[in-house]
Amino acid sequence: MKARFSDLTEGDITKADGHATEAESRIYTLTEMEELGKISESDIIRFAAEEFPWLDGNHIGRLKIIGMYYARL
């Protein structure tokens, strides 16, 4: 990330990485909830987009697919 965004400090990178990890974890939790029948599949993207408006919809979709794969193992 530093090579692409040279103005970022190590603290900025750590903070951004933390936000990304939080979003990823939450989306995986949503996919587990869907597998258990607590929410519908369409809710995953909607909930994630509401909680993480800065996250690109394509990335949410990718994380949803990965999470659903592992939730069904």
DSSP assignment, residue 37? T
In a domain, 59, yes or no: yes
Tokens of 23: 């979003």
DSSP assignment, residue 53? T
pLDDT number for residue 41:
95
Res. 2: pLDDT tops 90: no
Give residue 27's Cα distance to chain centre: 5
pTM of the model: 0.86
Domain count, the chain: 1
Range of the domain at 62: 39-73
pLDDT digits (tens, 9 = 90+) for 17-70: 999 999 999 999 999 999 999 999 999 999 999 999 999 999 999 999 999 999
pLDDT number for residue 3:
83
In a domain, 64, yes or no: yes
Average pLDDT on 13-17 reads 93
